[in-house]
Amino acid sequence: MPSPVSTFIEAAQAAGPDSIPTCPVPTLLDQTVARTPDAFALDFLGRRYTYRQLDHLVTRAARGLQTLGVEAGDRVGLCLPNTPYFPIFYFAALKLGAVIVNYNPLYVERELEFQIRDSGTTVMVTVDLAVIQGKLARAAAAAGLRKVVVCPFAAALPATKGVLFSLFKRGDVGRWRGDDLNVGYFELISDRTPPTLPKVDPRDVAVIQYTGGTTGQPKGATLTHANLSANCAQVIRHVGQITADQRIAGVLPLFHVFALTYVLNYGVAIGAELVLLPRFELAATLKTIRSRKVTNFPAVPTIYSAINNAPAKTRGDLSSLQYCISGGAPLPVEVKAKFEQLTGCTVVEGYGLSETSPVVSTNPLDRPGKPGSVGVLMVGTAVEIRDTDDPHHLLAQGEKGEISIRGPQVMRGYWNKPKETEEVFVDGALVTGDIGYMDEDGFLFLVDRKKDLILAGGYNVYPRVIEEAIYQHPAIRDVTVIGVPDAYRGEAPKAFVTMKAGQSATPEEIKAFLAEHLNKIEMPREIEIRDELPRTMIGKLSKKELVAEEAERAAAK
């Protein structure tokens, strides 16, 4: 019988519909450490770590978490930008059988508090940046977190950069002290005693990935080790032959499910070097691609558009890129064509959801795709097109209907939400809320969104959340939020408001008020003040007239 070490890649490359390998997610790291321990695993702004060093830090972090009382099934939150701390604590917690809960560091306090309570997160890992730490400290106190592990941002940098950051960016560093709630990273990893590791079953929940779907109430998609490792295997099978010395740019946030699978899980499984950037800055990203000879650049359409529009001198030579994967939002055909013309690198568009770990389909790398298509299905994945009026009725090839999905990457359900879980599965298939069709060659096309979800730069933005925040302004009578075309983000929220009698406020004043209630992604690009808003015959606010108006405006430009 073959050894489990170093067999996952081979099994994935040979996978068929009924032979997709699965394993506990930390096995992906274990296999690569056994195979190429001295290969570089991480590059963070010039500081590099080998797989042996990464494994060593993971082991010490696992011991530290265990000392804090973390056990199998406990929820460990990661509220981190892209830094080495993310993969360290991701694999450390999973080795203990704990469940990762991903947090966006841009969340405002109310979002952090809700997710902590809803998931039952007991331990949170964050960095000592003031912009994150202050609001997290308040949310932790309100929601009853047991421990917060505080990681020093400067310590993750190369020595010189770390010193300069400490000297000139001290205002960016939050104030914290070791107490009953907070524990420092170096204190946590000081115990070199090996942790006691439980047996992790691939069927166990590995990650709770929050998504609002098509409503303003976030839900936690429960992704098992089998879901995540199967999707990793599907990506490996789709990519095909993996060349040596792969370097994957980690500019997409690892707390986002696209990067979690395609950068972290896939990158570690194939033994690539993950070139991490804490956030997307155009000049810094382009410089990193050039200097580190990045080969694989997963991104969202807004990033490819930004590179297209960069001055030639800033863009420079990007010929090291071998292939790029676009996800998170529809990729405009013109953006794809221009990027490929400028770089000589193929960009393929994919489709997925938090509920599917996330990849469902991707255009092929070894032959031409189809303009406007989100590609062919991952091995072992089935898509059914259902009648939007009768979801139990399946439509024929080429007919447009609601996309539903079956496959080993499909989530178990929503965390502690049996009713919502039951509603999202029809005849055992996950219904997506997306409208599309399959053509005769097996290519999937998206046509429309079933609900009002706004996709802004690859992030889900929920009109209801924005509307509720605007309603808190004392001058606002009514508000409707829709998505409007945006050249950079694909879509952006726009708010239409009316004022209470005798009250007034400018769009700028309303935005200033919203700064305490919404994150930057949710902030409306434009606020239009009107005397009245469209309503239905029964008096409900109606969006369709506003959507039609904005479409006419866009067409007239």
8-230 and 454-556, same CATH topology: no
Q: In this predicted structure, what is the pLDDT of residue 169?
A: 67
Q: In this predicted structure, what is the pLDDT of residue 243?
A: 81
Under-50 pLDDT residues of the chain: 1-5, 213-215, 538
Q: In this predicted structure, what is the pLDDT of residue 474?
A: 92
Q: In this predicted structure, what is the pLDDT of residue 454?
A: 86
Q: Mention every residue, 6+ apart, whose C-beta is less than 8 A from residue 527.
A: 494, 495, 496, 497, 507, 510, 511
DSSP symbol at 192? -
Q: In this predicted structure, what is the pLDDT of residue 262?
A: 96
Q: How far apart are alpha carbons 522 and 108 in whole angstroms?
A: 11
Q: Which two tokens stand for residue 502?
A: 């005798």
Q: How far apart are alpha carbons 314 and 482 in whole angstroms?
A: 35
User: By C-alpha distance, which of 166, 161, 164, 135 is closest to 148?
Assistant: 135
Provide the β-strand partners of residue 224: 205
H-type alpha helices, 324-474 = 333-343, 418-424, 463-471
User: By C-alpha distance, which of 322, 371, 321, 382 is closest to 349?
Assistant: 371
Instruction: Specify whether the CB–CB gap between 404 and 432 falls below 8 A.
Output: yes
Q: How far apart are alpha carbons 469 and 108 in whole angstroms?
A: 12
105 alpha carbon, distance to own chain's centre: 12
What's the predicted TM-score (pTM) here?
A: 0.86
Q: In this predicted structure, what is the pLDDT of residue 461?
A: 84
Provide the β-strand partners of residue 150: 126, 184
Q: What kind of fold does domain 454-556 have according to CATH?
A: GMP Synthetase; Chain A, domain 3 (3.30.300)
CA-atom Rg of the chain in angstroms? 23
Q: The dihedral of CA 355, 357, 363, 364: what is its sign? A: negative
Q: Which two tokens stand for residue 224?
A: 């098992």
Q: How far apart are alpha carbons 124 and 103 in whole angstroms?
A: 9
Classify domain 8-230 by CATH number: 3.40.50.980
Q: In this predicted structure, what is the pLDDT of residue 163?
A: 67
User: By C-alpha distance, which of 201, 203, 221, 202 is closest to 211?
Assistant: 221
Domain ranges of the chain: 8-230, 454-556
Instruction: Specify whether the CB–CB gap between 457 and 521 falls below 8 A.
Output: yes
